[in-house]
Amino acid sequence: LLPPIVEDLDTRVRRWTEALSTESDSLKKYMMLAQLQAFDSTLFYKILVDNLPQLLPIVYTPTVGMACLHFDGNKRTHAGMYISYFQHRGRIRGILDNWPFSVDIVVVTDGGRVLGLGDLGTNGMGISIGKVSLYVAGGGFHPLHSLPVQLDCGTSNENYLQSPFYLGARKPRISAEEHAGFLEEFAMAVQDKWPA
């Protein structure tokens, strides 16, 4: 059974804002917000919009870099799309048909050089999710029409290749030539699916 009190949005915002204010560790705040975003995006964006100056360094740099280093072990959301060179090459346009909403903005990374942290592979998805959050909160994009994308091009990071939690293909990063062709296919597929 549920409690007899039904909280309005303002009360829920106050509850979460107070909880965030008592946490001093930025990475733990990031994880709290990621969990909130996964189960109540309305509340997440209300808190983010109302507190953008304070939360900007939590949902994006510098905290998102720390979060990306361990994204595979801390994954809390199914936000966005993962498109793999190894599984989806040659059929990206059809893969995009799996996204259920129209899209106004796509934020994409291949995780190759994230914030000076090196090759993070699919752990770079935190960058796309973080940027989408900022574009929604600060730029007025609707969250359902904003798509974070992680292109899985492999990784040269041995730690990720050996990790049982790594979310990407456990294969070396593709060559520059293969990468260029994959990016071109992706860009053309996005343009065809959601023309400007």
Which two three-digit tokens encode residue 179? Answer: 């990468």
- Residue 81 CA to residue 90 CA, distance in Å, equals 16
State the catalytic residue, choosing from 29, 30, 82, 131.
131
Catalytic: 131?
yes
127, 114 contact by CB (below 8 A): yes
Decide if 45 is catalytic.
no
Hey, CA dihedral for 39, 41, 46, 51, is it positive or negative?
positive
Which one of 29, 30, 46, 60 is the catalytic residue? 60
Q: How many CA atoms lie within 13 A of 79 on its CB side?
A: 31
Using the structure block, give the residue that is written with the tokens 């939360």. 55
Catalytic residues: 60, 131
